[in-house]
Amino acid sequence: MRAIRLHGQGDVRVHDEPEPVPAEGEALVAVSAVGLCGSDLHWYTEGHIGDAHLERPIVPGHEFFGVARTGKYAGQRVIVEPSIACNHCQYCHRGDHNLCENGIFAGHGSRDGGMQEVIAWPERCLTPIPDEVSDDDAVTLEPLGVALHAFDLSHIKAGWTIGVVGCGPIGLLLLQLVRNANAVGLIAVEPREHRRAKAAELGARTVLAPEEVGSYGNTCDLVFDVSGSAEAVAEALTLAKPGARIVLVGIPDDDTTTFRASVARRKAITFVEVRRMKEVYDRAIPLLATGLVNGATLVSHAFGPDRADDAFRAAAAREGHKVVIKMQPGAA
């Protein structure tokens, strides 16, 4: 089978490898498609993410779905929960599996991710995908899960004015969730014109380039920073009303988030950090199945495994929206 391995900064190679042998409790999944996430791009462009460094050639990818070959879901499409929680630590016991102190994550550390034609994965981490969810919708389920977790942490209320700073795929999914939560004002901030256009298409009432944010100071009851850059955090602080909450979803390039303490203090801002997601697929799937959230509209580029480097380059250049690698034979 073909497997895509990241050997170092900017070094992606396709390998011919044997299919995995499932361990007890695991099922084989023929991977259909993998979305490239911003965290994958940190590995590709920097060779690390935060304080975690690439220690061996690893198969990236945690936004993936496929068709189960074995186990109770054999023959069905399944979405893969990329985080394998231990279910024994104090955080798992209190329901915070995303904070598991023994957690294993796809494409991180010792565990290869989804950019291989077949993967062995714990059956308990698989969820069937109904026919009402298209393949292009299905590949956005994991980022939608992150967006839904951020939404839950926001304590959002109907009638609020909401800001979304950064309109990459997760930002655009969050924007749709906020739109459905009866926000009376929805402000999107994004430096790239094509992403501003998509934000307007998906329901943002006001769409701003970063240089326009100053005219909208103190307007938002809640702001999501989905960029991670210091500039985006500053824009979120400008938009936020006194007493507002800012939800930090994006991952900064240099592992540092900075902001003006005097502004945050005088406004008495509450900051909330987002760590991956909880078990939300049972809620994310119906959102796509009913059309309340459109994930497929974000899939702008699709490549086969042999063009993996082109896929990473396109994603790193922020071309389009969601870049996908289709793993099965015949994908070009």
Q: Is the pLDDT of residue 246 over 90?
A: yes
The pLDDT value given to residue 53: 67
- Per-residue pLDDT band for 253 (boundaries 50, 70, 90) equals confident
Distances (CA, A) of 44 to 38, 116, 189, 287: 10, 17, 26, 31
Confidence of residue 330 (pLDDT cuts 50, 70, 90): low
First to last CA, the chain: 15
14, with CB counted inside 10 A (0-12, 13-18, 19+), is: middle
Mean pLDDT, residues 25-46? 87
Q: What is the dihedral of CA 154, 189, 227, 167, to 10 degrees?
A: 90
Contacts of 251 (CB under 8 A, 6+ apart): 38, 39, 42, 49, 50, 228
Q: Using alpha carbons, list the distances in angstroms from residue 304 to 14, 78, 109, 114, 138.
A: 11, 20, 25, 14, 17
With H, G, I as helix, E, B as strand and everything else as coil, classify residue 291: coil
Model confidence over 96-144: pLDDT tens digits?
A: 999 999 999 998 878 899 999 999 999 999 999 999 999 999 999 999 9
Reported as a single tens digit per residue, the pLDDT across 277-300 is 888 999 999 999 999 999 999 999
Name, in order, each residue with C-beta under 8 angstroms of 130's C-beta and a sequence gap of 6 or more. 285, 289
pLDDT for 48: 62
Whether 293 and 133 have beta carbons less than 8 Å apart is answered as no
The residues spanned by each domain of the chain are: 2-140+295-326, 146-273
Q: Report the alpha-carbon distance of residue 172 to residue 143 in Å, rounded.
A: 10
The predicted structure's pLDDT at residue 8: 84
Q: What is d(CA 218, CA 57) in angstroms, rounded to the nearest whole number?
A: 47
Q: Considering only CA atoms, which of 9, 8, 63, 73 is closest in space to residue 35?
A: 63
Average pLDDT, the chain: 92
Fold that domain 2-140+295-326 belongs to in CATH? Quinone Oxidoreductase; Chain A, domain 1 (3.90.180)
Q: Pull the structure tokens for residue 147.
A: 């967006």
pTM assigned to the model? 0.92
pLDDT above 60 (res 332): no
Pick the CATH number of 146-273 from 3.40.50.720, 1.10.10.10, 3.40.30.10, 3.40.50.2000: 3.40.50.720
Say if residue 32's pLDDT is above 90. Answer: yes
Return d(Cα 220, Cα 105) in angstroms, integer.
Answer: 35
57-69, pLDDT tens digit by residue? 889 999 999 999 9
- The token pair at 248 is 């930090």
For range 15-41, the mean pLDDT:
92
Give the angle 272-278-280 at the CA atoms, nearest 5°: 120
Mean pLDDT, residues 52-57 taken together:
76
Query: Position of tokens 């279910």?
Result: 87
